[in-house]
C-alpha cells in the first residue's frame, strides 16, 4: 500500500469485523449468483414465480440506499424538522407509483424505461434519449452512495483519507460487476432489506434504553418542556460545544435551516424568509414524490410477480416495509444532536452524515463493548446499503450503455461475446466515472444529492410516464421535448448548485441578491415538472399527426385488466447481458 | 379506464390534501402545530410518524377498489361475449 499506514488511528476490532463480514458475504453471494444465473438477472425470467413476501423484501432492500440508511439521520441532525420530508416523501412516492404508473407499466410489459419509451412511441430515437437520462440520473444517484462509502471507511479506519475509501469500495464493486456478479438477485436483495432493518432498529432500541426515549430527546429542545422527562440525557449546552448548530427552536420547527439557507444568504429576517421556505418545501416535496417514478432499478421489480394482483399486493407490503424502516433514522438524528454535538463543527466525512455509525459507540462508556458491537452493526447496514445500491445502479447503467448504446446504436451486428466485452468495458468506464465524481462530493450531504437525482427524474421520467400512460394524444416529439426541457433544466440547475457549493464556481456574490433564484435552482421541481408537462401538451398538440397509429390498442394494453389477455411483452432481446 | 383513473385521482387527492396541506398548516398556524402530542410536537408527529400509517390505509383502499373494478370489468366482458 502506498499510503502511510502509520497515519491510520486505532481500529476498533468489532466494527472492523462486522463490516468485513458484511462485505465478504455480499461479494461472495454476488459471485455465487453470477455462476448460477444463466442469462440476465432473475427478474427478467425466473422472477415470475417469486412470492409476494420475497419480492416485497427485495424491492424494499433495493430501495433503501445510503441516503435512507445514513443520509436521513445525518440531515435530521443537521437540519431538524425539514429533513423529515425526505423519508416521508421517499415512502409516499411509492404511493404515487402505485396509483398512476405501476399497473399500466406492468401490463405494457416494458421492463426498462428505454423499452417503454420505444414501445409506447415506436421510436428508437426516443429510446436513445431515454438511455441518456438513465445514465445522467444514475450518476447523481451513485455520488451519494460513494460518499457513504468514503465516510464509512474513514470511520472504520480513522485517519484514512476520504477518497481512498471511495476508490476502494467503488473499485471492488466495479470489478465485481464487470466480472459478472452482483446482479439484482431477489434472494440477496430480500436479505439486504432485513439486514438493514435489523441494523437500523436494534441499535435504536439499545440507545433508547441507555439514553432515553425519542420524545424525551426531542423535548430537550423545547425551552419550557411541560413534563420534560429528560431522563439520562447529559446534554451539554449547544451554544458552547457546537456554535454552528442551529438553535433549538429553528431546528425543531418547520421552515428551519434547510429551507431558509437561501434567505439567510440574502440576509432576510426570519419573517421575510418564511414565504421562501414554503416555496422550497413544496418544491422539495414535488421532487421527491414525483421522482420515485424515475428510479429504473425499482420499476423493473414490478414485473417479478406472477400477476397484477400479486404485483399490487407486493407494492402494499413494500410501503409497509419501507415505512417501518423510516421511523428509525430520525431517532439517530434527534439523539445525535444531544449526545454528539461535536459533529456539527465538522464537515464532509467527519460531519453529521456519519451519525448512524458514531452514535452507538457512545454506549461503550456505560456498557463496555456493547457500543462497539452496535456500531459494528450499523456499519454493516451502511455497507449493505451503499454496496447494493451502487451495484444495482452500475448494473442498470452498464446494461443501458452496453445493450442500447453499443448493442443497438453502434454495433447492431455484434455477437453476444462482443456484447459481454462491451458490458465489461462499460462497467469499468461507468464505475470509474462514479468513483471520480464520488471523490469530489465529500462536502455535499448524502440526502441532498439523492434529492437532486429525484428532482431530475421528477422533471423527466415522471411526466413521461404519467402523460404517456393516461393521455392518448401524446406524440413522440411531445414526449421528447417535455423530457428534455424538464430534465435538462433540472440537471443544469442541480449541477450549478453543486458546483457553487463545492466552490468550483464562485457565485457567492450572486446568490445573496437573488434568494428566489437560488431556491428555484436548488429545488427545481416546482417549476420544471409543470414545464415538462406543459411542453409535452403543447408539442404533442402541434404534432398531432404523429400520434401512433395503433394508439387505441396501446391504450388497451395499458389499461385493460390483465385477465382479458391484452398484455404483450415489449421486451426486446435481453438475453445474454 | 375512466373509473380506474377516477379512483386513482380520488386517492391521490386524499393523500395530497394532507401532504400539501401540512406545510400550509405549519405556515399559518405554527402555535397549533407546535402543541404537544404523545410527547412530540404535532407537526413532528405527523411528518415523522403518523404519515406512514395514513399512506398504508390509502394504499390498502386503492388496491381493494382497483382489483374490484378490474374484476367487474372482466365479468362484464365475459357477459357480453357469452
Is A216 an 8 Å CB contact of chain B? Answer: yes
Q: Report pLDDT for A50.
A: 65
- Chain A residue with minimal CA distance to B55? A92
Dihedral in degrees, nearest 10, Cα atoms A532, A534, A540, A542: -130
Taking alpha carbons only, the member of A38, A402, A31 closest to residue A188 is: A31
Residue of chain B minimizing CA distance to A227 = B39
Cell numbers found for residue A529: 415538472
Instruction: Tell me the average pLDDT across A540-554.
Output: 86
- On whether any CB of chain B is under 8 Å from the CB of A99, the answer is yes
**What percent of chain A is modeled with pLDDT above 70?**
86
CB contact under 8 A, A219 and B39: yes
Q: What is the mean pLDDT of chain A?
A: 82
Stretch A349-365: mean pLDDT, rounded?
A: 84
**pLDDT, tens only, A375-403:** 889 998 888 888 888 888 888 888 778 77
Work out the pLDDT band at A185, boundaries 50, 70, 90: low
Fold of A42-225+232-559: Sodium/glucose cotransporter (1.20.1730)
Dihedral sign computed on CA atoms, order A33, A35, A36, A40:
positive
- State the pLDDT confidence band at A224, using cuts at 50, 70 and 90: low
Chain position carrying cell 447496514: A381
Residue A297: its pLDDT value, please?
A: 66
Cα A361 to Cα A374: distance, rounded to the nearest angstrom: 7
Q: How does pLDDT run across B4-56, given as a tens digit for each residue? A: 889 999 999 999 999 999 999 888 888 888 888 887 888 888 988 899 999 99
Per the CB < 8 A criterion, the answer to whether A356 and A329 are in contact is yes
At A104, the pLDDT band (50, 70, 90 cuts) reads confident
Backbone φ and ψ for B35, nearest 5 degrees, come out as -70, 160
Asked whether the predicted pLDDT for residue A567 surpasses 70, the reply is no
The whole-model pTM stands at: 0.87
Touching check for A91 and chain B: CB below 8 Å?
yes
Label residue A230 by pLDDT band (50, 70, 90). very low
- Contact check, Cβ <8 Å, A564/B30: no
Percent above pLDDT 90 for chain A: 22
B66 CB neighbours in chain A (<8 A) are: 103, 312
CA distance A328 to chain B (A): 9
Q: How far apart are CA A510 and CA A18, in angstroms?
A: 47
CB contact under 8 A, A99 and B8: yes
* pLDDT value for A146: 93
Q: What pLDDT is recorded for position A534?
A: 95
> CA torsion, points A558, B9, A448, A26, in degrees to nearest 10?
-50
Residue A45 touches partner B, C-beta closer than 8 Å: no
pLDDT for A251-290, tens place per residue?
888 888 888 887 777 777 878 788 888 899 999 999 999 9
Residue A40 — pLDDT band, cuts 50, 70, 90? Answer: very low
Domain ranges of chain A: 42-225+232-559
Is residue A64 within 8 A of residue A328, CB to CB? The reply is: no
Which residue in B13, B25, B26 has the most chain A C-beta atoms within 10 A of its own C-beta, making it the best mutation to test that interface? B26
Mean per-residue pLDDT for A1-16?
68
The predicted structure's pLDDT at residue A560:
80
Which residues of chain B lie closer than 8 angstroms to A221, CB-CB? none
Of A127, A137, A134, nearest in space to A480 by CA: A127
Q: Which of A319, A330, A564 sits opposite B56 (nearest CB)?
A: A319
B55 near A CB under 8 A: yes
Q: Chain B contacts of A289, Cβ < 8 Å?
A: 19
The yes-or-no verdict on residue A557 having pLDDT over 90 is no
**DSSP H or E run through B36:** strand B36-37
Average the pLDDT over each of A59-68, A157-166, A457-466, B62-71 and give the range with the smallest value.
A59-68
B39 to A323: CB separation less than 8 angstroms, yes or no: no
A68, A72, A85, A98: best mutation site toward chain B, by most B Cβ within 10 Å?
A98
Pairing relationship of beta strands B40-41 and B36-37 according to DSSP bridges: antiparallel
- Residues in B touching A92 (Cβ below 8 Å): 15, 19, 51, 55
pLDDT value of residue B29: 87
Looking at chain A from residue 322 to 341, which residues have their Cβ under 8 Å from any Cβ of chain B?
323-324, 326-327, 330
- Greater pLDDT, A433 or A568: A433
Segments in A327-369 forming alpha helices (H): 329-339, 355-358, 364-367
Please say whether the dihedral angle defined by the alpha carbons of residues B31, B36, B40 and B45, taken in this order, is positive or negative. negative
pLDDT at residue A232, rounded to an integer: 52
Contact criterion met (CB < 8 Å) for B48 and A327: yes
Q: For residue A139, what pLDDT band results from cuts at 50, 70 and 90? A: very high
Among all residues of chain A, which has the CA nearest to that of B51? A88
Cell of B17: 390534501
Does B35 touch chain A if contact means CB atoms closer than 8 Å? no
How far apart are the CA of B63 and the nearest CA of chain A, in angstroms?
6
Task: Provide DSSP, A77-138.
Answer: HHHGGGGGHHHHHHHHHHHHIIIIIIHHHHHHT--SHHHHHHHHHT-HHHHHHHHHHHHHHH
Bigger pLDDT: A560 vs A84: A84
- The most confident of A27-36, A272-281, A299-308, A520-529, by mean pLDDT: A520-529
Highest mean pLDDT among A38-47, A234-243, A253-262 belongs to A253-262
Judged by CB atoms closer than 8 Å, whether chains meet at A88 and B30 is answered as: no
Average pLDDT over residues A137-142: 90
Cβ A100–B56 below 8 Å, yes or no?
Answer: no
CA of A575: how far to CAs of A370, A379, A416, A418, B1, in Å?
48, 36, 9, 13, 34
| DSSP one-letter string for B38-82 | TTEEHHHHIIIIIHHHHHHHHHHHHHHHHHHHHHHHHHHHHHHH-
Tell me, rounded to whole angstroms, the distance of Cα A243 from its chain centroid.
Answer: 31
Q: Where are the domains of chain B?
A: 2-81
Residue-wise pLDDT for A143-156, tens only, equals: 999 999 999 998 88
Is the Cβ–Cβ distance between A201 and A328 less than 8 Å? Answer: yes
Angle made by CA atoms B36, B37, B39, in degrees to the nearest 5: 75
Amino acid at each position: 500500500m502506498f499510503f502511510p499506514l502509520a497515519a491510520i488511528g486505532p481500529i476498533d476490532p468489532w466494527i472492523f469485523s462486522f463490516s468485513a463480514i458484511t462485505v465478504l458475504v455480499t461479494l461472495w453471494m454476488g459471485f455465487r449468483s453470477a455462476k448460477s444465473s444463466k442469462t440476465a438477472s432473475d427478474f427478467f425470467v425466473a422472477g415470475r414465480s417469486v412470492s409476494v413476501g420475497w419480492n416485497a423484501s427485495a424491492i424494499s432492500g433495493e430501495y433503501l440506499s445510503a441516503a435512507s440508511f445514513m443520509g436521513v439521520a445525518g440531515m435530521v441532525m443537521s437540519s431538524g424538522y425539514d429533513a423529515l420530508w425526505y423519508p416521508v416523501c421517499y415512502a409516499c412516492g411509492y404511493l404515487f407509483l402505485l396509483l398512476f404508473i405501476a399497473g399500466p407499466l406492468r401490463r405494457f410489459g416494458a421492463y426498462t424505461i428505454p423499452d417503454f419509451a420505444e414501445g409506447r412511441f415506436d421510436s428508437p430515437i426516443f429510446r436513445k434519449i431515454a438511455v441518456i437520462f438513465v445514465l445522467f440520473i444514475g450518476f447523481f444517484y451513485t455520488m451519494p452512495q460513494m460518499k457513504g462509502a468514503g465516510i464509512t471507511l474513514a470511520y472504520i479506519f480513522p485517519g484514512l483519507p476520504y477518497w481512498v475509501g471511495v476508490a476502494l469500495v467503488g473499485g471492488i464493486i466495479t470489478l465485481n460487476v464487470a466480472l459478472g456478479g452482483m446482479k439484482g438477485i431477489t434472494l440477496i436483495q430480500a436479505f439486504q432489506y432485513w439486514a438493514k432493518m435489523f441494523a437500523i432498529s436494534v441499535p435504536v432500541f439499545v440507545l433508547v434504553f441507555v439514553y432515553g426515549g425519542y420524545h424525551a430527546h426531542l423535548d430537550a429542545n423545547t425551552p419550557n418542556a411541560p413534563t420534560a422527562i429528560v431522563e439520562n440525557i447529559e446534554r451539554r449546552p449547544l451554544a458552547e460545544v457546537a456554535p454552528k448548530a442551529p438553535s433549538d427552536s429553528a431546528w425543531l420547527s418547520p421552515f428551519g435551516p434547510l429551507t431558509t439557507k437561501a434567505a439567510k444568504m440574502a440576509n432576510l429576517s426570519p419573517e421575510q424568509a418564511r414565504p421562501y421556505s414554503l416555496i422550497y418545501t413544496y418544491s422539495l416535496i414535488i421532487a421527491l414524490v414525483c421522482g420515485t417514478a424515475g428510479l429504473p432499478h425499482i420499476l423493473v421489480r414490478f414485473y417479478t410477480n406472477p400477476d397484477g394482483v400479486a404485483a399490487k399486493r407486493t407494492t402494499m407490503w413494500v410501503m409497509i416495509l419501507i415505512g417501518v424502516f423510516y421511523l428509525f433514522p430520525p431517532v439517530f438524528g434527534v439523539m445525535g444532536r444531544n449526545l454528539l454535538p461535536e459533529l456539527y463543527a465538522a464537515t464532509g466525512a467527519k460531519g453529521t452524515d456519519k451519525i448512524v455509525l458514531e452514535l452507538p459507540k457512545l454506549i461503550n462508556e456505560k456498557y463496555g463493548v456493547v457500543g462497539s458491537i452496535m456500531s459494528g452493526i450499523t456499519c454493516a447496514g451502511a455497507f449493505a446499503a451503499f454496496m447494493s445500491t451502487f451495484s444495482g445502479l452500475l448494473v442498470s447503467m452498464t446494461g443501458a450503455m452496453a445493450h442500447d448504446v453499443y448493442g443497438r446504436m453502434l454495433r447492431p451486428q455484434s455477437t453476444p461475446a462482443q456484447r459481454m466485452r462491451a458490458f465489461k468495458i462499460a462497467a469499468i468506464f461507468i464505475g470509474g466515472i462514479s468513483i471520480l465524481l464520488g471523490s469530489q462530493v465529500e462536502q455535499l450531504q448524502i440526502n441532498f444529492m439523492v434529492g437532486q437525482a429525484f428532482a431530475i427524474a421528477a422533471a423527466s421520467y415522471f411526466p413521461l410516464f404519467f402523460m404517456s400512460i393516461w393521455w392518448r394524444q401524446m406524440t413522440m416529439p411531445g414526449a421528447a421535448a417535455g423530457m428534455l426541457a424538464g430534465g435538462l433544466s433540472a440537471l443544469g440547475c442541480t449541477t450549478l448548485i453543486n458546483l457553487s457549493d463545492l466552490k468550483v464556481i464562485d457565485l457567492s456574490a450572486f446568490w445573496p441578491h437573488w434568494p428566489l433564484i437560488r431556491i428555484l435552482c436548488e429545488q427545481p421541481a416546482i417549476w420544471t415538472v409543470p414545464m415538462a408537462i406543459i411542453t409535452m401538451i403543447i408539442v404533442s398538440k402541434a404534432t398531432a399527426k404523429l400520434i401512433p397509429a395503433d394508439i387505441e390498442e396501446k391504450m388497451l394494453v395499458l389499461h385493460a385488466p390483465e385477465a382479458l389477455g391484452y398484455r404483450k411483452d415489449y421486451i426486446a432481446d435481453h438475453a445474454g447481458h | 379506464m375512466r373509473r380506474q383513473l377516477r379512483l386513482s385521482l380520488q386517492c391521490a387527492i386524499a393523500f395530497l390534501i394532507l401532504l400539501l396541506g401540512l406545510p400550509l398548516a405549519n405556515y399559518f398556524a405554527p402555535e397549533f402545530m407546535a402543541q404537544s402530542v404523545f410527547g412530540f410536537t404535532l407537526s413532528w408527529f405527523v411528518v415523522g410518524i403518523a404519515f406512514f400509517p395514513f399512506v398504508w390505509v390509502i394504499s390498502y383502499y386503492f388496491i381493494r377498489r382497483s382489483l374490484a373494478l378490474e374484476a367487474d370489468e372482466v365479468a362484464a366482458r365475459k357477459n357480453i361475449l357469452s
